[in-house]
Structure 1
């Protein structure tokens, strides 16, 4: 097989890139190790910046998002005594969209066939070859048969554990990492949200988040130690803890229900640079991970794809290499700013095992300052809604 761009991974990054390239008349093939059903069933985040919704609007794959998504003008920080409203619409003139990543992925996959975007599902043993050259290729097996895909460029959208980043020779790149000493225990339930906006809560017992996927489906999280498991948290115990950490005002509006899904996700900050090596580009979680506190993971993938798709289209359609040459530098500038925001919000809203009484007082003082300062709320709003490309 031959193509112009081989994309590894059919998450939102790979799918958005594939659609943008096909729209510009560029040949591409997506390789995915999982089945279509598995990819469409993965539960993921759901707060979309304008960067992400703009891509879906450009592609015309947006009708369900605008029909079912929930535009949000702001969100709240809770300090145990009050809700501190961050009015992002008033402070920035922009909104965010609450629309599940699962739904967005389904929309992109559903549109693939009619737009001649080829996706090969359930491929195994993916290996990258010749990424230092101008004629890289990928070998893989599908249905027990060995296959080879030749391309001009390979784009790794295959997540933190995928093969793309590992194909870069040791010593070429640098890794920066912070692993956090806790995780998020999440519950998804078919119950109405307790509030019309997201609530990030700082409580003496730890962080909590009240979120939603729709007007009838809610997503809640609490901070838990890494040595705990889902079995330690039966539904009733989890609902009780959420009510305590979110505070009495919010607790009175919580509707309880059985868990559709419950899991614990570890938190880390991670950046690999550069995001290009020869004919190989990295995008999304293959190059960087952010803690979910700032709602930046999916949106950073979208900004990577915005930069990279423009560069690849210029290369193939106009012979202009500047976009692909500048891709890593431009993408990383936005990545690091988003890493800073996610790290700072994580530090502000969570209890760390080695926190002292002084550290706790600093959190309280910072939240009090945010509540009293429009400038502080605007800085948070600008980062939450998404920095300019």
Structure 2
């Protein structure tokens, strides 16, 4: 198999184990399938202008030195996020003829490319010069084709995949006992970054409505509280029902899977979402999912695979949560099971390796 360099501006470390965990998971999946992969990534989520300049400059230099040293061994590069990450792959192609694949995750188009015309132009160039553009959601695929002018045959719709060996059904009541969750409790679970764009304040308002009709309901939120400004807002809002709103910091994936199993309903109230992998993981353990009708969530939960609600609308969210809570013990969701199967690691690995092979065969070696 060919040698691959993966570039990413998000990657886990011991200090930040969940930062870009989806990229690491895919890298580990590739290694299990005997793909020779090297990773050059940023593993520090610190914000601030000075810190950002330092870490991005260091990353850029490390990446380019790596490419120059390994240019004759590399079959292709794979960048996660169009800009700035994809620019590294674009330079490797321009300088050394190394083809590349770029995965678009959402924020790189919805936020980064919208910052100014220069970044939008660079993003367009990065996407158009790629051998293949992978989008994790249907809406992103449409954006890549129609907003950035990439030929449809070069765009592949593919999620990051779900590890069904970790996110698997378990005996619910046994897991709840291990987590000290009372039998009669109606558990609602959110997992993700604690930021406003995830719709958390909408969720707090919706939960206030739910609690009045379901007194046994408890809301659990698992996610990083590093955004101090937002956490102040969250704490003010959650004071309405402090004993029923429980926040926890990020946990290892196996523990997350247990919390998903224990929950009666999983909720993802995002204002925008490229795909919504965490929702797929909840579906994989068999827990009903309520999410906003945005981005990749719209197609992920269509056909009854989950409950879709209006974004920015606490009343709609509350209605969806109540519906899911009251039907949580119904028969297995075949649409959800199909969605999980089509996004399993085995399926994703097979498709991704096929894309790598196709890109490597078209490699331009004229620089040698």
Q: TM-score range by the shorter chain?
A: 0.3 to 0.5
The TM-score with structure 1 as length reference comes to 0.31
Which structure carries more strand by proportion? 1
The TM-score with structure 2 as length reference comes to 0.32
The structure showing larger relative contact order (alpha-carbon pairs under 8 Å, at least 6 residues apart) is 1
Which structure carries more helix by proportion? 2
